[in-house]
Amino acid sequence: MSEYEYDLLMELGNHQSNCVWEAGLHHQKGWNKPKGSASRKAKEEWIKSKYVWKGFLEYRAEDGREQDDREKKFSADLYEAARRG
């Protein structure tokens, strides 16, 4: 996660940020958000999958076919969400 993305997420707040970062979770079979009682390893895997690999984002065909295109679209959408408040 870039510093820019981090600043935007802090501005959006936890609930709105999770709506963005976890919007595509339903496409990922076998993944459930870990509860507070989950092991440290389960939480680390979740965090890495969510923020490093961006594995739970919701992508649409118009977002582009390449990962770089999708990430640019994601960053633009994140910025727009922060701008709207």
Q: Could you tell me the sign of the dihedral formed by the alpha carbons of 77, 73, 59, 34, in that order?
A: negative
What is the average pLDDT score of the chain?
A: 86
Instruction: Read off the pTM.
Output: 0.68
What pLDDT was estimated at residue 60?
82
Mean pLDDT (whole number) for 28-32: 91
In the chain, the percentage of residues whose pLDDT exceeds 90 is: 27
| pLDDT class of 22 with cuts at 50, 70, 90 | very high
Q: What is the dihedral of CA 8, 12, 14, 15, to 10 degrees?
A: -140
- What's the CA gap between 44 and 62, in Å, rounded? 31
